[in-house]
Amino acid sequence: MIRRLLRSIAHDPLALLSLVFLLVVAAAGLFAPWLAPHDPLLVSWRDKYHGISLNYPLGADHLGRCVLSRLLFGIRNTLFVALLAMSVTMLTGTVLGMLAGYLRGRIDAALMRLCDLMLSFPGEVMIFALVGILGPGLQNILLAVVLVKWAWYARMVRGIVLQYSDKHYIHYARLLGASPGYLIRRHLLPVTAAELIVLATTDSGAVILLLSALSFLGLGVQPPTPEWGAMLGEAKNVMMVHPEQMLPAGIAIVLVVAACQYLGDSLRDALDVTGGEDGRAAFPDT
């Protein structure tokens, strides 16, 4: 399935462009200390609202800080944090979904009832509520995202495991003495990998929007740490007199989220997760 996804990207110019764009953005975040023309925290009152120039390619903000430098360093607190949140969420959901689907019985029933409880509330509302209770900060945001979103992945993985665990080759492997760990690692985990990649890719865009919204409202990354949502929050105070301050971070968020969404849609079409020839769905009925 992974090869099928890669072939699909190679034959879809926009999907390939989206992937390359995301890789370039990630590389820019990794090499931000060498690419940024200034220290993103350096304040210079003399350069307050400095226009676009060779010294300030995207201008300077209300404290005279280089907007381009803050945009580059903000990748780490926007894209990378979203990827970290999705990785932890996917790992948690995969482990619990595997346990529920393979062990079944009371463990399956208990985990699925917990999933039903988590999925009965709007995810974004729950995350905002948890962050409001726990307080602002990246650690609390990561915790809230994982606590709310793991149920989607657990339910999906559980459904796939239920479908494949009764296949003949799985029974044959059990008769040969294969351990549960070997069966999960060798046979069950690979068949879930493609669906996990598709869901995580699409969900990453939503998490980036969520992180940016929390920082915009003052519940996420705290000043003076550079983050795209926080940059928008600072720029909104001078939106009427200096509207150009909203553009760099706003355009960056739109482009990255659009790239994640389009790449995820392209992968979903390649995998035909909504119901392909074999009639399998990404979210089987439970």
Predicted pLDDT at 285: 38
- pLDDT tens-place string over residues 209-258: 999 999 898 888 888 889 999 999 999 888 888 888 999 999 999 999 99
In a domain, 221, yes or no: yes
In a domain, 280, yes or no: no
Q: Six-digit token pair at 1?
A: 């399935």
Give the number of domains in the chain. Answer: 1
In a domain, 283, yes or no: no
In a domain, 215, yes or no: yes
In a domain, 175, yes or no: yes
In a domain, 281, yes or no: no
Domain CATH number, residue 131 = 1.10.3720.10
In a domain, 285, yes or no: no
Predicted pLDDT at 2: 61
Exposed (0-12), middle (13-18) or buried (19+): which is 55, by Cβ within 10 Å? exposed
Predicted pLDDT at 58: 92
| Range(s) of the domain holding residue 154 | 2-36+52-271
Predicted pLDDT at 286: 35
Cβ atoms of 84 and 56 within 8 Å: the answer is: no
Rounded-to-integer distance, Cα 257 and Cα 255, Å: 6
> Mean pLDDT per segment of 10 residues, for the chain of length 286 residues?
69 86 95 93 89 90 92 93 91 89 84 88 85 85 89 89 78 73 76 82 89 88 88 89 91 94 83 45 37
